[in-house]
Amino acid sequence: MPNVLELFKSSGALLEGHFKLTSGKHSDVYYEKFTILKQPRICEQVCVEMAKLFENDKVELVVGPTTGGIIIAYEVAKYLGLNSIYAEADPGGKGRVFKRGFHIDEGTRVLIVDDVLTTGGSIFEVIELVKSYKAEIVGIGEFLDRSGGKVKFDYPFKALATVDANAWEPENCPLCKKDIPITQRGSRKFQTA
């Protein structure tokens, strides 16, 4: 299994420029996880490595947030021999919800997984949703922690790789101050303002 950081680099998933992240922060690097997720064999290898980090934790269900987390939860669950479900953005704009008949039985041991961590916003939303079902969160897994370990959870957290990537609030962004054009990748709406 290749190193996850090397996979991002060798596959062209590590981009440099001026990016608006899902969190709203700006960065000079962007980790395009879909370059990895679109390659089933590589994605499967990475997810197997993530699953191995939690295979002794008696996980009963794997949950991920949309969009990349759907694929990751499925592949991790497949390796662990479990079911997976995913949490979608609440249409009302308040956190995450389960749709499509998904639910969690009280006391279920849940592993939450996702792709790239910057501020933890999506994961914190999934944590709140899982807790609302009175399930037991046994861990959180990520492909890549780009916060350099700054984001803290109340549950065991394991990332396949950790980097300390720049992420600035828009008003403090040195790239904006240099008038470098900004782009946004990802699935959430880009709003200029």
Closest CA to 51 of 33, 74, 19: 74
pLDDT bin (cut points 50, 70, 90) of residue 191 is very low
Q: What is the mean pLDDT of residues 13-31?
A: 90
Residue type, 47: C
Contact, 119 vs 151, CB < 8 A?
A: yes
**Strand-by-strand arrangement of the 14-20 sheet:** 26-31, 14-20, 183-184
> What tokens appear for 112 in the block?
């939450």
pLDDT tens digits for range 162-185: 998 998 999 999 999 999 999 887
Q: Is 4-184 a CATH 3.40.50.2020 domain?
A: yes
Please give the average per-residue pLDDT across 84-97, as a whole number: 93
CA distances in angstroms from 153 to 43, 66, 70, 109, 128, listed in the order given: 25, 20, 21, 17, 12
Instruction: Please check the confidence at residue 193 and state whether its pLDDT lies above 60.
Output: no
Strands (E), the chain: 14-20, 26-31, 61-65, 83-89, 96-97, 109-117, 136-145, 157-162, 183-184
Cα–Cα distance, 163 to 8 (Å, whole number)? 12
Q: Is the pLDDT of residue 17 over 60?
A: yes
Each residue's pLDDT tens digit, 38-85: 999 889 999 999 999 999 999 999 999 998 999 999 999 999 999 999
